[in-house]
Structure 1
Amino acid sequence: MMESRVIDTFLGAFLNLMFPLKMLLRLYSFCILMIDIAWVVVNAVCAVFQAGYELFRPPPMKSLKRENALVIGSGRGVGRELAIQLADLGAIVLCVDQNKVNNEETVECIKRRGGTAYLYTCDITKKENVQKLAAQVKKDLGFVGMLFYCCGIPNHFLPEMKAKNHGHIIALTSVAGLSYIKNQMPLSVAQFAVQGLAESLMEDLRVNKIDGVHVTLTHIYPFIVSEDMPDLVRLRIPSYFGTITPVEAARSILESVRRNFPEASVPKHLLCLGHLLRVLPRKATVLIRDLLDTGVDFA
C-alpha cells in the first residue's frame, strides 16, 4: 500500500509538472504559426504593391551584348523576328530550325544588318538530335546564356547556367497553354506542358537559391498575323483585340525578357486575363472564354 501511494504521488506530481509544459509548447507553436502567417500576409501585400508599382515604373532593361542566344524556330514568324532583334541588340544569335532554306534567310538578314549569327539545322522533336545540337553548340561557341524555346529542351543547357549562376530561359507558349483550342487537343496538351515545365524551372531555381538564372514564361495569343496570312484569325471582338505583327510581338517579348519578368503575354494587357482565369470557378472561366472566343479553327 505504501509503495502504491508513493508511486501515485510521484505520478501526480509528474503529470502536474508536464501539463504546464504541454500548454507552453502549444502556446509556443501557436505563436510561431501566427508569426509565419503574418510574414506571408505582409510579403504578399508588398508583392501586390510592387507589381502595381512596376506597371508604371518597370525595372530597367538589361543589356544583351555578347550574350549567346539560342532561338528555336528562327526560320519564320516570331522566331525569325526574335533572332533579328536579338542581333540588333548585340547578342550572338544561334538560329535553329528544321527548314534550312528559311533559316539561311534569317542568318543572311542578320549578317546584312551587321549582326552575328550561326546556322543550325535540327529537328528538335527527336531527343538525339537535341543532344547533338547541344554538343555542337558548346563546341562552337561554349556557354549559351539565353534560350528561347517552345518544347522540352532546357535540361541540355540548364546545368551549365546553374553552375555559372547566369542565364535566361524563355518559354514561348501559345494561348493553347491557358485554354483548349478547337480541334487542336494535342497542341493544347503540348502547350500546357511547356507552361508546366517553365513553372517547374522557376521553382527549382528558387528552391536551390539560384538568383542569376531567370525564367520568363510568355503566352502568345493567336492575334499575331503575318502579312502573307491575313485570314488566319477571326476575331469575335476585333475592336478590343486587334492584330499585331511578328515584329511587334518579338519587340514585346524582348522587352519583358530584358526586364527579367517571370511571366508575360503578347499582347501585354491579356496577362491579367490569364491570371483571372486561374482563380475563378470553372463555370465563370467557361463563360469568359465563350465571350472572348476568337473563332480560331486550324482544322
Structure 2
Amino acid sequence: MSFILALLKLPFVFLLEVIYFIFRCRPKKDIKNQHILITGAGQGIGAEFARQFAAMGNTIHCVDIVEKLVENVVEELKRDGHQAYSYTCDLTKHEQVQKLHDDIAGAGFIINMLVNNAGVAFGVSIQKMSLTQIQHSMMVNIVSNLWLIKLFMPKMLELNEGHIVNVASLAGYFPLRSSTDYCAAKAGSIHTLNQLRMDHMGTNLKFSVVCPFFVNTKMITGIDPSVAISSVALVTKAIRGIRENKEVIPVPNMFRVLKVIQDIAPPYLMRALIVATSSTNGADAEIDAKFVGQRMSEKVE
C-alpha cells in the first residue's frame, strides 16, 4: 500500500521539482539557536562551516585532531561574539570519540546538527598503501561518521528533530585516479545517509550529503585554481542546500547532469569522459595533484 501511495505522489513531486528549478523558490528553513557539531573544524571546509553557521546565530562545537588549529578557530568565533567550544579528538580512536560525546552530553548540550566533515587522502594507488594507511583512511573517512551518528542520533530521534550532514565528495560517484580508498570511503559516506533516510522515513530527521569537486584547501595541492572551488563558495552552497533539506548537494550543481549521464551511458564511455575532462582541466589527480591530507595522514606509514 505504501508503495502505491508513493507512486501516486510522483507526478506531484516532479511538478514541484520543476517549479523549484525554474523559479528558485524551494522553501528554506531557519538554522539558528542550534548546537552544531563539526568535525575537522580546525581549518579549510570545517572552519568555514563553523564561521558561517556561527554567523547565523548558532552555538558551534568544533572538533579537530590538532588542538592549536581548533582552538584558533574557536577564539576567532568568540572574538566575533559567537558561542563556540573546542574539542581535540582523534577520530580513529573510538574511546576518544565516546569521550567527546560524553563531555558534550555531560555539559547539558544537545546536538541538533552533526556535520561529519573530517577527511584524509593519501593520493597513491592501493598497491602502494600499507594496511595501516588503508585502515586509517577508512577510520577517518567513513567509520568515524558511523560512530558519531550512532552516538548523537538517538537524542535526535528522541526529540524527533535533527540534521545529519556528511561531507563526502564527487569521488563517491565518479572514479578518481590513485584514490581507491578515498573513493570507496566517500561512496560509503553517501550510501550511509541513503540507508538512514529509509530507516527513518516518517520522522523529522533530515540527512544531507555534500559532494564537492576539487576544493582549494590544504588537503590537496597542485590543482589549477580556476578548476577548484573555494571553501567559502562551497560552504555557502552547502548551507543553502542544507536549509532546503536537500538530500544530495553536488558542488558545482552541473554534476547532477553528469550523474544522469553516468547512469545511462556505457561504463567505458563514462570512464573515458572523466579522464578526458580531468586532463583538460588540469585536475588529473595522478599527474597534477598531490594529496597531502591532514597532519596525521603524513605520519601514517
In terms of mean alpha carbon deviation, does 141-150 or 80-89 score higher?
141-150
Deviation at 1:191, TM superposition (A): 1.0
Q: For 1:12-67, what per-residue CA distance to the aligned partner results, in whole angstroms no more than 9, with x for missing partners? A: xxxxxxxxxxxxxxxxxxxx9xx94xx65553333222222212233232222210
Q: Distance in 2 between matches of 1:284 and 1:65?
A: 45
Out of 256, 269, 276, which is 1:291 matched to?
276
Deviation at 1:269, TM superposition (A): 2.6
Partner of 2:131: none
Secondary structure at 2:168's aligned position in 1? strand
Deviation at 1:135, TM superposition (A): 1.0
Q: Relative to structure 1, is the Cα distance of residues 58 and 123 closer, same or farther in structure 2, using a 3 angstrom cutoff? A: farther
Aligned pairs (5 A) from 1:133-148: 133-148=100-115
Q: Relative to structure 1, is the Cα distance of residues 217 and 41 closer, same or farther in structure 2, using a 3 angstrom cutoff? A: same
Q: Does 1:181 align with 2:176?
A: yes
Q: Distance in 2 between matches of 1:99 and 1:229?
A: 14
Partner of 2:54: 87
1:50 alignment partner AA: L
Deviation at 1:284, TM superposition (A): 3.5
Secondary structure at 1:292's aligned position in 2? helix
Q: Say whether the 8 Å CA contact 1:96–1:122 is kept in structure 2.
A: yes
Partner of 2:82: 115
Q: For 1:213-264, what per-residue CA distance to the aligned partner results, in whole angstroms no more than 9, with x for missing partners? A: 1001110111x214x79953148xx6xxx43211111111111111111111
Q: Distance in 2 between matches of 1:44 and 1:283?
A: 32
Q: Say whether the 8 Å CA contact 2:213–2:229 is kept in structure 1.
A: no
Q: Distance in 1 between matches of 2:191 and 2:77?
A: 33
Q: Does 1:214 align with 2:203?
A: no
* Number of equivalent positions: 254
Aligned pairs (5 A) from 1:1-299: 36=4, 42-55=8-21, 56-150=23-117, 151-152=145-146, 153-206=148-201, 209-210=202-203, 212-222=204-214, 224-226=215-217, 231-234=221-224, 242-293=227-278, 294-297=283-286, 298=290
Secondary structure at 1:155's aligned position in 2? helix
Q: Say whether the 8 Å CA contact 2:60–2:85 is kept in structure 1.
A: yes
Gaps of at least 5 residues in structure 1 are 1-31
Deviation at 1:126, TM superposition (A): 1.9
Q: Say whether the 8 Å CA contact 2:77–2:84 is kept in structure 1.
A: yes
Q: Relative to structure 1, is the Cα distance of residues 185 and 116 closer, same or farther in structure 2, using a 3 angstrom cutoff? A: same
- Counting aligned pairs with the same residue, the percent is 24
Q: For 1:81-139, what per-residue CA distance to the aligned partner results, in whole angstroms no more than 9, with x for missing partners? A: 00011100001000000011111111011111111100000011122221111111111
Q: Distance in 1 between matches of 2:116 and 2:238?
A: 13
RMSD of aligned C-alpha atoms?
2.3
Q: Relative to structure 1, is the Cα distance of residues 143 and 255 closer, same or farther in structure 2, using a 3 angstrom cutoff? A: same
Q: Relative to structure 1, is the Cα distance of residues 186 and 49 closer, same or farther in structure 2, using a 3 angstrom cutoff? A: same
Q: Distance in 1 between matches of 2:205 and 2:240?
A: 17
Partner of 1:5: none
Question: What's the TM-score, normalizing by structure 1?
Answer: 0.78
1:157 alignment partner AA: F
Deviation at 1:283, TM superposition (A): 2.8
Q: Relative to structure 1, is the Cα distance of residues 279 and 46 closer, same or farther in structure 2, using a 3 angstrom cutoff? A: farther
Structure in which a larger fraction of residues adopt helix: 1
Question: What's the TM-score, normalizing by structure 2?
Answer: 0.77
Q: Distance in 1 between matches of 2:261 and 2:102?
A: 41
Gaps of at least 5 residues in structure 2 are 118-144, 292-301
Q: Say whether the 8 Å CA contact 1:74–1:80 is kept in structure 2.
A: yes
Q: Distance in 2 between matches of 1:51 and 1:288?
A: 28
Q: Distance in 1 between matches of 2:220 and 2:184?
A: 27
Q: Greater relative contact order: 1 or 2 (C-alpha under 8 angstroms, separation 6 or more)?
A: 2
